[in-house]
Each structure stands twice: as C-alpha cells, then as structure tokens.
Amino acid sequence: MLKMILDLDTGIDDGMALAYAIGSKEIELIGVTGTFGNVYTEDGVQNVLNILNMCDANHVPVYAGESHAMNQSSFDRLEVSARIHGENGVGQVSIETSPRQKEEGSAIDFLIESIKKYKKDLVIVATGPMTNLTLALKKAPEIKEMMGRVVIMGGALTVPGNASPYTEANISQDPEAAKYLFESGVDVTMVGLDVTQRSLLTNAHTQSWRETGSVAGKTYADMVDYYISQHFDTNGCYLHDPSAVINAVHPEFFTVLPMHMTVVTEGEAVGRTIGDPYKLRDANPNVKVCIGVNSPELVNHLHKTLMSLFKK
C-alpha cells in the first residue's frame, strides 16, 4: 500500500480525489492537510471532515494549513472558484456535519513529522496552492533529502490557463510557493491542465453512483452534477485533482516529459509554468511534466474505485 498525504483546497474535484484515496485498495491515507484556494482554509477543512465522516474514514487525521499565499497577508477567493465549486465548495450540497474536529497541530508540522517518519515511502499529493508544502521545506530543509515523490495538480505547459490566459488556478494563487517547490530538488511530478482537461466524467457516471442508493453515492452524484453544470464547453467535468492522485498510484497511465521548469513571478504572466531558459543545457531536469494520459483507462479506473466505495 502506498502511504499518502493529501493537501487539498476542497473543492468538488478535491473531494473526488479524496474519495478515490479513501476507496483505493492501493493507498493508505496517512492524513489530510487543508489549504486555501477554491474555498477559505477553514471551510475546506470542514468539507474534508464531513466527507471522511460520510465515507466511514474517521481514522484519517485532518490538519488546517495556511490561510493565504506566502507573500500576502490575506486571501481573496477567486469569483470563478465560488461559481464552479459553489459557495460552500461542494456544489451547494449539504453534507452532514462531522462530529469530529480537526487536529490541534499545524499542517506544516504534520507534513514535516510525517516525512521524517515515512521518508521515501510517503507520497504527498497537493491539489491546491503549494503553500503548505513549501513552508514545510523552508522550516525543515533537511526533509528535502529524505522525502519521496510529490505530485501536484497545477500549471499548464501546452494549453492556455484557466485563471488567466497564462495561468492555472493553483499556481496562480501562490506562484512563489510553486517556484520554490519546483526548484527545491524534490522529486516533483506536475499534472497540469494539459492532461486533466482531457479526461471527463459525465452525468451517466454520476447517475450510477446515485443508483447505489448510499448517502455517499447520492451526495457525490449531486456534487459532481453541480460541477458538470458549471462546465460550459464540454458534456462533463474535467478531472483535475483526481488525475493527480491517480498519477501517484498509476504513473503508467501518463506520458511524462522531464523538464527544467520554473514559475513566472513578475509581470503580466505571473503564475505561468514555463521551461527555465537558464537551465536548458543542465543535466537532471527538476520536474516530471505530464503531457499525455490514457483517458479511457483513467476514467474507467476512477469510476470503478468510486463505485466500490459508494456501494459499501
């Protein structure tokens, strides 16, 4: 079993990534850390607690992380996130409030302790801004040498962004954090819009979740139907965050191009993920950039895993 921590800004597709991790027989979910992005950190953390409770996974500890980007003092939620994910982050669907509270400690300390404990056996999947992870690396630089893979959902190499023509939302909300992570020497895989927008879930999938008759199946069907309704250019919804968590377990579904990646932190294109022109001739590229995906296989695998969770 692959030990995993999820760093989420929950968010409907973060919620799908979480359900996949709970339902997967290949993942041991060590904990969840919450960040800002689709919602404010405290609301995202509450969504995680509620989802874990609904899916009988109350053994998974949940920690709150940063509430804003590294070089800002507060967080302004993007209007587009409120529309796509609903005001409450889960498509205006009401999920029973968990009786459980988040853990006392900070997400950053939890990340540091877990990396020291599990070392290369732990994979961290970040599907919001990379602030928590980067602050952990800055606070305890010795973990860089110890840690295993990091998979992020973020960025775009070959397609336009979704937060601006240049930028993808997770990177654009804390470009300095993403840049630091990319240049840290850690083993990073970038699952960007190049691949996440190629895989779609449709109302036919959500209808079969609903037909399981379980509370989780019905709730997820309502959440994802809302998400689908906010995609005006397709008949389904993009699989951003689920693609990242699936990459951690099934890298064979993806085509990867190792590159020297950096992030633009100034000017009009701030937040853009781009090749580092100063490193062109250097050996050992720093980021494994996903450029292709076997979408039918990924969608089928995700659907099967979620069905097995919802049927319980």
> Interface residues with ligand BDR (CB under 6 A)?
11, 13-14, 38, 81, 127, 153, 162, 168-170, 240-241
Q: Which residues bind Ca ion (CB under 5 A)?
A: 9, 11, 14, 127-128, 241
Minimum Å gap between C-beta 238 and ligand BDR is: 8
CA distance 14 to 51: 11
Minimum Å gap between C-beta 153 and ligand BDR is: 5
Minimum Å gap between C-beta 173 and ligand BDR is: 8
Is the four-CA dihedral 23, 115, 192, 94 of positive or negative sign?
positive
Minimum Å gap between C-beta 44 and Ca ion is: 9
Instruction: Indicate which of ligand BDR, Ca ion, none lies near residue 168 (CB less than 5 to 8 Å, by partner kind).
Output: ligand BDR
Structural tokens at position 258: 């190792």
Per the listing, tokens 């998400």 go with: 227
Instruction: Indicate which of Ca ion, ligand BDR, none lies near residue 162 (CB less than 5 to 8 Å, by partner kind).
Output: ligand BDR
Burial code of 108-137, b = ≥16 C-beta within 10 A, e = fewer? bebbbebbeebeeebbbbbbbbbbbbbbbb
Which residues pair with residue 190 across a beta bridge? 152, 289
Minimum Å gap between C-beta 295 and ligand BDR is: 17
- Known active-site residue 233: no
Cβ-based neighbour number of residue 213 at 10 Å: 9
Instruction: Indicate which of ligand BDR, Ca ion, none lies near residue 47 (CB less than 5 to 8 Å, by partner kind).
Output: none
Structural tokens at position 222: 């309502």
Look up residue 42 and give its amino acid.
E
Which residues pair with residue 62 across a beta bridge? 32
Which of 9, 13, 14, 43 is catalytic? The answer is: 9
Q: What is the DSSP letter of 15?
A: H
For ligand BDR, give the closer residue by CB, 143 or 171. 171
Which of 68, 85, 240, 301 is catalytic? The answer is: 240
- Give the closest residue to 162 by CA, choosing from 13, 2, 1, 7: 13
For ligand BDR, give the closer residue by CB, 118 or 238. 238
CA distance 111 to 78: 27
- Give the closest residue to 154 by CA, choosing from 177, 137, 135, 138: 177
- Known active-site residue 13: no
Instruction: Indicate which of Ca ion, ligand BDR, none lies near residue 81 (CB less than 5 to 8 Å, by partner kind).
Output: ligand BDR
Torsion from C-alpha of 284, 126, 71, 193, nearest 10 degrees: 80
- Three-class SS state of 51: helix
For Ca ion, give the closer residue by CB, 176 or 241. 241
Residues belonging to the active site: 9, 240
